[in-house]
Chains A and B, each alone.
Chain A
Amino acid sequence: MIDTLIDITLLAFLVFTAVAIIRMRNLFVIIMLFSLYSLFSAGLFAVMDAADVAFTEAAVGAGISTVLMLGTLALTKNHEEKPPSHLARLPLLVVLVTGGALVYGTYDIPSFGDPASPAQTHVGPYYIQHGKEDTSAPNIVTAVLASYRGYDTLGEVTVIFTAGIGVMLLIGGRLMRKQKRKDQR
């Protein structure tokens, strides 16, 4: 019962924050609200028994992405979004139709927390039953991440590495230095 209550409260906070992000025009406020949004969703992950995910979201979403967004804000020196010139009717229509279709689709999803749903009866129970003896790691998330689906994680690490290279190439800072040297000459 208390779980449901916390769940509903956090979801309500999330909706308020999302609406506030849409309505606000000050970019600094938007970034801070987004950080708050990440923190609330980390809480929600914790309520839904996903300790590892909550941990990651709190460190990444509320920590690093906020720092990076603030860094971008400092570099672009643009603190106020331009007011929209007209009411966005077409996007609203698109969003309503898509959202309606998605909500219609949720009727086919098994109920929230149903232990007999297909997601719970397919490969998950195998990991929980055999994970500890197979890998001697009690944390099944780590066992699946590093052992059962190690190939998957190798790909993810490569993606992170590639994104890092991309950022270095885009704003690694060499161009600015070269320009500066040219200016000095």
Chain B
Amino acid sequence: MIDIIFGHYNYWIVVVLMMAGFYTVISRGNLIKKIAGINIFQTSVFLLYISIGYVEKGTAPIIAEGYTVYSNPLPHVLILTAIVVGVATTALGLALVVRIKEAYGTIEEDEIHDQDMSL
């Protein structure tokens, strides 16, 4: 039991964070807050990947004398690029929010929906 807790608490907390982001996305109507929620979700997925790549008593995957155990470099590569791609796509989302604000005068989802229905 203790083994399971110590071996998995990292994943559980990552799931909690993921769900916090997911909840923000589906329950709140403010578009900026939704994007913050998406980013929380995204960062927790990164944490999950890096947790899987971690090796006990290892070190960062930069080959040096005196070290034999390194953490897995593959998740690092995937997440490194994903972070930068993530900020680029976040910028795209924020640009859409700016355009929505200019077109509708609001960034609250229900008000946008009302305006669309009243047309």
Task: Give chain A's interface residues, CB within 8 Å of chain B.
Answer: 4, 7-8, 11, 14-15, 18-19, 21-22, 27, 30-31, 34, 37-38, 41, 44-45, 48-53, 56-57, 60-61, 64-65, 68-69, 71-73, 75-76, 78, 81-82, 84-85, 88, 91-92, 94-96, 98-99, 102-103, 106-107, 109-115, 117, 119-120, 123-124, 127-128, 131-132, 138-141, 143-145, 149, 152-153, 156, 159-160, 163-164, 166-167, 170-171
Contact = CB atoms under 8 A, between A and B. Distances in A.
A170 B99 contact: yes
A106 B27 contact: no
Contacts of A159: 85, 88-89
**6 tightest A-B contacts by CB?**
A111-B7, A163-B88, A113-B56, A88-B27, A91-B27, A18-B20
Contacts of B23: 22, 88, 91-92, 95
Given A18-B21, A41-B46, 15 more contacts: A4-B6, A21-B36, A31-B32, A50-B71, A56-B83, A60-B84, A69-B32, A75-B98, A84-B29, A88-B26, A138-B62, A143-B73, A166-B92, A167-B95, A170-B99
Nearest to A164: B88
Contacts of A143: 73
Interface of B is mostly: helix
Contacts of A84: 27-29
Contacts of B94: 68-69, 71-72
A65 B46 contact: no
- Dominant secondary structure of chain A at its interface with chain B: helix
Interface string B77-111: 10111011111111110111111010000111010
11 contacts: A49-B58, A72-B94, A91-B26, A95-B22, A106-B11, A115-B55, A128-B63, A131-B63, A144-B77, A152-B77, A163-B89
Nearest to B59: A49
B21 A167 contact: no
Contact of A138 (B58, B64, B106, B108): B64
A98 B50 contact: no
A106 B54 CA distance: 16
Interface of B: 3-4, 6-13, 15-24, 26-30, 32-33, 35-37, 39-40, 43, 46-47, 50-56, 58-64, 69-77, 79-81, 83-92, 94-99, 101, 106-108, 110
Nearest to A117: B52
Contacts of B89: 159, 163
Contacts of B35: 69
Given A49-B59, A68-B90, A84-B28, A61 B81 contact: no
Contacts of A30: 32-33, 36
A128 B54 contact: no
Contacts of B110: 85
Given A15-B16, A22-B23, A84-B27, A127 B73 contact: yes
